[in-house]
Structure 1
Amino acid sequence: MNWFLAKIVYRIICGEGDHTAQFDEQLRLIVASDDAEAFKKATAIGKQEEDSFYNKFEKLVQWQFINVSELYRIAELIDGAELYSRIEEKENGDLYTELVHKRAANLQLNGFRHFLQAL
């Protein structure tokens, strides 16, 4: 069996959808014998975890599975191995840097309680 990193993409629609398009990109670990099985499992997870609910304003919020946009086989689990990389381009580099520092501080203040959980 092999480990894969899959990017599962959802579209988030609130109410009639008359807002800026929102997407949730989730990185998921998948164990499978080959690429085809990993893609199939990631797709099944995406479909299974579609959701809809009403927010506090009584508007319907829908998480619609779009597809699996990326799939990488992880050859070996090595301490410090790079699993994913994405280059961000921001108009205000200083503001983005400040946001990264705030997120890191928040992790430290909350005692690193944000762990991946298998559902």
Structure 2
Amino acid sequence: MGYIRPTLLTWSQRYDHLREVTHDDVLAALDELTGSRRSNLLVSARSLFAFAKKTGKIFRNPTSGIRVGQHTYGLAQRWDQDDVDQAAEAATTPAAPAGPHARRRSRRPDRRHPRPSPGRRRPR
């Protein structure tokens, strides 16, 4: 509800009921936004109008047929040769153990909590 609230407040200044909101109104609200804000608004509007249609408050869903669109990713940046060399060196250099917690554990069971022998029964 938080994503669509500003849009609903804008529509409430022009319309008295959700029935009056048109497909073009939804598109106009979406055109003002980009990225995740746009998709979040569309998902919220779809949910609101689907519920309103299901409960009989409106007769048609103005968000039907509107696609979210493809997510635009940032442009890949070129690496300088120094960056490539540094990454290649880091990938081929063996890393040292990260301290005492990186040691391998022994295969012996922990002596603090010995297992009961198979012949010994536990008290009931």
Q: TM-score, normalised by structure 1?
A: 0.22
For CA contacts below 8 A with separation 6 or more, give which structure has more relative contact order. Answer: 1
Relative to its length, the structure with more strand (as a share) is: 1
Relative to its length, the structure with more helix (as a share) is: 2
Q: TM-score, normalised by structure 2?
A: 0.21
